[in-house]
C-alpha cells in the first residue's frame, strides 16, 4: 500500500469517526444533562470544569463529551477557556501524581486493563523531545500521555509548555463541534468546518510526532 493511499484511508477514517460521533450525539437526549448544568447558572463553567477534569484524571471515563457539552450551551470563548483550563489542570495533576507516587497509583487510576497503554506510550521516549510530547498530547490519548510522561524523566519545564500548546490547539475544534452539532440548518455547515479543523489537528499532531521522531533519531 503506497503512502498516498494510506493518507486517503486515514483521512476517511478520521472524518468517518467524527461524523459517526456527531450522529450518535444527535441521537442522545442531552437536554436533561444540559438542564442540570444550566441550573448552576453562572457556576455552569465550574460544573463543566469539574466533570472534564474528573474524566481526564480517571481516563477510563470518556472526556470528549464534556468538550461537546461545553460548546453546546456556553459562549464559545468561555467554553474553550473552560475546557483548556480543565485539561491543563487535570493533565498536570496526572503528571504530578505519576511523578510523585509512581506506577502503583497510576495503575489504580487508569485500571490494570489500560496500564499497557501507559507503558506503550512511556516507551516512545517523549521525555527527550518537545515535538513528540506535544504531538502526543494533541491526540485523544492525552490523559494517558500525561501519566506516561510522569513515569519517565520528563521535566515540568518541558511538560507544561507542551501541554498548554496542545490544549489550546486540540480543544478548540472539539468545542466548535459541540457548539454546532445540536443545531439545524447552518449548524451542519459549521460542524463540517469543525470536522475539517479536527482533521487538520490530526495532521499537525502526526507531523509533530514525525518531526520529533526524526530529530530523536538524529541525536
Least confident of 82-96, 106-120, 147-161: 106-120
Kindly report the pTM of this predicted structure.
0.73
71-96 CB burial, b ≥16 within 10 A, e <16: bbbbeeeebbbbbbbbbbbbbbebbe
pLDDT-derived band at 204, boundaries 50, 70, 90: low
Nearest Cα neighbor of 199 from 115, 119, 138 is 138
User: In Å, how far from its chain's centre is CA 215?
Assistant: 25
pLDDT-derived band at 13, boundaries 50, 70, 90: low
Report the number of distinct structural domains present in the chain. 1
Mean of pLDDT values over 42-68: 85
Separation CA 173–CA 159 (nearest Å): 22
pLDDT-derived band at 195, boundaries 50, 70, 90: low
Domain that holds residue 209: 3-217
The pLDDT score that the predictor gives to residue 86 is: 95
Mean of pLDDT values over 104-116: 85
Better pLDDT: 195 or 73: 73
Least confident of 48-52, 60-64, 68-72, 150-154: 60-64
Residues 22-44: tens digit of each pLDDT? 555 555 555 666 677 777 778 88
Amino acid at each position: 500500500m503506497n503512502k498516498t493511499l494510506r493518507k486517503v484511508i486515514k483521512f476517511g477514517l478520521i472524518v468517518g469517526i467524527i461524523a459517526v460521533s456527531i450522529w450518535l450525539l444527535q441521537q442522545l437526549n442531552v437536554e436533561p444533562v444540559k438542564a442540570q448544568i444550566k441550573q448552576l447558572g453562572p457556576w455552569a463553567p465550574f460544573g463543566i470544569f469539574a466533570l472534564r477534569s474528573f474524566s481526564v484524571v480517571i481516563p477510563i471515563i470518556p472526556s470528549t463529551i464534556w468538550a461537546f457539552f461545553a460548546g453546546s450551551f456556553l459562549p464559545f470563548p468561555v467554553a474553550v477557556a473552560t475546557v483548556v483550563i480543565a485539561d491543563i489542570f487535570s493533565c498536570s495533576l496526572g503528571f504530578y501524581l505519576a511523578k510523585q507516587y509512581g506506577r502503583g497509583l497510576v495503575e489504580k487510576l487508569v485500571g490494570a486493563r489500560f496500564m499497557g497503554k501507559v507503558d506503550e506510550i512511556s516507551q516512545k521516549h517523549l521525555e527527550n523531545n518537545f515535538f513528540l510530547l506535544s504531538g502526543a498530547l494533541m491526540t485523544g490519548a492525552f490523559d494517558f500521555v500525561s501519566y506516561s510522561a510522569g513515569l519517565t524523566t520528563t521535566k515540568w519545564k518541558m511538560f507544561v509548555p507542551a501541554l498548554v500548546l496542545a490544549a489550546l490547539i486540540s480543544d478548540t475544534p472539539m468545542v466548535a463541534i459541540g457548539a454546532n452539532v445540536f443545531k439545524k440548518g447552518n449548524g451542519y455547515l459549521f460542524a463540517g468546518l469543525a470536522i475539517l479543523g479536527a482533521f487538520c489537528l490530526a495532521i499537525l499532531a502526526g507531523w509533530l510526532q514525525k518531526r520529533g521522531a526524526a530529530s530523536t533519531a538524529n541525536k
